[in-house]
A and B are shown apart, each in its own frame.
Chain A
């Protein structure tokens, strides 16, 4: 139970993030000399379902594919300097991730770390099935509840050097270490809400430190190729100061922090998490130094009685095809190609058509935007079409029809690319807390996967 601030550095904001991000963050944490934790957030909504599919194909897989690339550069320093690592990189196989980290430590000649594996998020089994939505015959790929910070905090208090979780709420990766460090009461909603919003600022990695912000001439950010990932200094009352490693690229100012503070927020007075309902309606964001921004005034309310769960299911096939037209009347030829495909694929369900270079992003799937875009004279246009179908063979027809434009379509079409992939759907539901039994176990090498 401490009153000194806790530093939480974030080295990943999604699966596939830069793997060289962690080292400068860990150097800054170690240089501070104070208590510090390193977190990795690698699970978006669908990532866990993809991980579950990977585990089906290979029982040893199903955790973050970049796990070793992310951890190898910093594992030794973190263990040597007492910086615990907390991540949801366990995905669909936290024990598998723990085994791989143990092997990595051995490969690097390090003492084997004490690894806690968080369990309780997987609700795909029969004992929870009655709590999930009716699936109408669709095959469930994964079902996971968003756990809170408690199991992470318990593991850290018990001396874990690494905490491997699957699905936990993103901010809980930060709240867990803060809860363990400060020893807040379970109903200290103000402090929990402050730490939750600190976690929210961190959970997308560089999105708070200048990533995903730049707009040349209007919002310039230095050093985007060497972005510094964020570090939050969390105080005992829950307020935080966000910064980044000295000498790194990027920027942390009032504006980068506000963009991330509101990212994926709906009602700012009620940001729901498993740990607390956070309220930023009275919050203040202040620049207190170069690349140092304070967030204060976050209020907290009692945590929800239910936990959110995501259920992923097989939802059919997505087919996409593209072909390019250039030069005089290119746009007219691309539009004609789209008309041909609409006729050839009629009856297969909605076909989306985009004219890349003319109208392809803001538009709606029904084509109202494109229809309202007057025909112009664009000279470099790529037609892109997409459809979804429950049956693979039907979806595949799109790919054949786009390819056939080579000989049957308008003049000069080139560069056909097609793709066909299975798709996953997601439904969310709320589960009573009593139905979930979150906790942690120590990883031991003899344990079953």
Chain B
């Protein structure tokens, strides 16, 4: 097993409605999808966004699309109308999630995207 950032395994986009954010996490290859389903769980996501105090986190699995849809309730400080953040939509939040560490079996390494460096591939 090798630890890589999630963005080497999947890509995603954030959407917002009111005070709720959703982040898609889409595997770069079908064989990588099970890693998402196993490791990007609601508690892992909740810990990643702990500073925003999500009231509920749900990870909807979409095996046909090799993707998941992460829904975080009440993480936008009220949402686009009320937040004081420059990014009041939370549009950048996918990149916080995509930096989570993921354990990948060595056999799947050829399927990863991005720079295949060994010196920083093991950072947590």
How far apart sit A219 and B11, CA to CA, in the bound complex (Å)?
9
A424-B13 CB under 8 A given contacts A283-B65, A364-B51: no
A residues within 8 A CB of B87? 361
A267-B13 CB under 8 A given contacts A365-B77, A386-B84: no
Do residues A354 and B86 form an inter-chain contact, with CB atoms below 8 A?
yes
Number of interface residues of A (CB under 8 A): 51
State the 6 A-B residue pairs at the shortest beta-carbon distance, nearest first: A264-B15, A262-B24, A352-B84, A365-B77, A386-B84, A368-B51
Do residues A262 and B85 form an inter-chain contact, with CB atoms below 8 A?
no
Could you mark each residue 2-30 of chain B with 1 if its beta carbon is under 8 Å from any beta carbon of chain A, else 0? 00000100011101111010101010100
B residues within 8 A CB of A425? 81-82
A residues within 8 A CB of B79? 426
A350-B93 CB under 8 A given contacts A282-B64, A363-B51: no
In the complex, what's the smallest C-beta–C-beta distance from A310 to chain B, in angstroms?
10
A34-57 residues at the B interface, CB under 8 angstroms = 45-46
A265-B22 CB under 8 A given contacts A259-B11, A364-B77: yes
Could you mark each residue 80-120 of chain B with 1 if its beta carbon is under 8 Å from any beta carbon of chain A, else 0? 11111111000011001000000000000000011100000
Q: Which of A255, A369, A424 contacts B51 (CB 8 A)?
A: A369
In the complex, what's the smallest C-beta–C-beta distance from A257 to chain B, in angstroms?
10
Do residues A259 and B24 form an inter-chain contact, with CB atoms below 8 A?
yes
* B residues apposed to A, CB below 8 Å: 7, 11-13, 15-18, 20, 22, 24, 26, 28, 51-53, 60, 62, 64-65, 67, 69, 71, 77, 79-87, 92-93, 96, 113-115
Do residues A255 and B26 form an inter-chain contact, with CB atoms below 8 A?
yes
Q: Closest residue of chain A to B15, judged by CB?
A: A264
How far apart sit A219 and B24, CA to CA, in the bound complex (Å)?
16
Do residues A365 and B83 form an inter-chain contact, with CB atoms below 8 A?
yes
Do residues A263 and B81 form an inter-chain contact, with CB atoms below 8 A?
no
- Does chain B have a CB within 8 A of A297? yes
Q: Closest residue of chain B to A426, judged by CB?
A: B81
B residues within 8 A CB of A215? 11
How far apart sit A369 and B84, CA to CA, in the bound complex (Å)?
14
Q: Closest residue of chain B to A284, judged by CB?
A: B64
Q: Which of A281, A297, A364, A423 contacts B81 (CB 8 A)?
A: A423
Do residues B85 and A285 form an inter-chain contact, with CB atoms below 8 A?
no
How far apart sit A215 and B53, CA to CA, in the bound complex (Å)?
29
A residues within 8 A CB of B12? 259
In the complex, what's the smallest C-beta–C-beta distance from A313 to chain B, in angstroms?
10
How far apart sit A263 and B93, CA to CA, in the bound complex (Å)?
13
Q: Which of A265, A361, A364, A424 contacts B69 (CB 8 A)?
A: A265
Q: List 20 A-B contacts (CB under 8 A).
A: A46-B80, A217-B114, A255-B26, A259-B12, A259-B26, A260-B13, A261-B65, A262-B15, A262-B65, A262-B67, A263-B15, A266-B17, A266-B20, A281-B60, A362-B96, A363-B85, A365-B77, A365-B84, A426-B81, A428-B18
How far apart sit A32 and B16, CA to CA, in the bound complex (Å)?
36
How far apart sit A46 and B83, CA to CA, in the bound complex (Å)?
14
Counting chain A CB atoms within 10 Å of each CB, the highest count among B11, B79, B83 belongs to B11
- Does chain B have a CB within 8 A of A114? no
How far apart sit A362 and B79, CA to CA, in the bound complex (Å)?
14
- Does chain B have a CB within 8 A of A15? no
Do residues B11 and A262 form an inter-chain contact, with CB atoms below 8 A?
no
A219-254 residues at the B interface, CB under 8 angstroms = 219
How far apart sit A266 and B81, CA to CA, in the bound complex (Å)?
20
How far apart sit A315 and B83, CA to CA, in the bound complex (Å)?
12
Do residues A361 and B85 form an inter-chain contact, with CB atoms below 8 A?
yes
How far apart sit A269 and B52, CA to CA, in the bound complex (Å)?
27
Counting chain A CB atoms within 10 Å of each CB, the highest count among B51, B64, B96 belongs to B51
Do residues B24 and A315 form an inter-chain contact, with CB atoms below 8 A?
no
A residues within 8 A CB of B17? 45, 264, 266
- Does chain B have a CB within 8 A of A387? yes
How far apart sit A105 and B72, CA to CA, in the bound complex (Å)?
47
- Does chain B have a CB within 8 A of A393? no
Do residues A360 and B113 form an inter-chain contact, with CB atoms below 8 A?
no
- Does chain B have a CB within 8 A of A1? no
A residues within 8 A CB of B67? 258, 262
Do residues B11 and A352 form an inter-chain contact, with CB atoms below 8 A?
no
How far apart sit A318 and B67, CA to CA, in the bound complex (Å)?
38
How far apart sit A112 and B86, CA to CA, in the bound complex (Å)?
44
- Does chain B have a CB within 8 A of A168? no
A384-B86 CB under 8 A given contacts A258-B26, A262-B67: yes
How far apart sit A156 and B7, CA to CA, in the bound complex (Å)?
45
In the complex, what's the smallest C-beta–C-beta distance from A284 to chain B, in angstroms?
6
Q: Closest residue of chain A to B52, judged by CB?
A: A364
Could you mark each residue 46-83 of chain A with 1 if its beta carbon is under 8 Å from any beta carbon of chain B, else 0? 10000000000000000000000000000000000000
How far apart sit A30 and B93, CA to CA, in the bound complex (Å)?
40
Other than the known A350-B84, A361-B87, A364-B53, what 13 A-B pairs have Cβ atoms closer than 8 Å? A46-B80, A212-B13, A213-B13, A261-B65, A265-B22, A268-B69, A281-B64, A352-B84, A363-B85, A365-B85, A386-B84, A424-B81, A428-B18
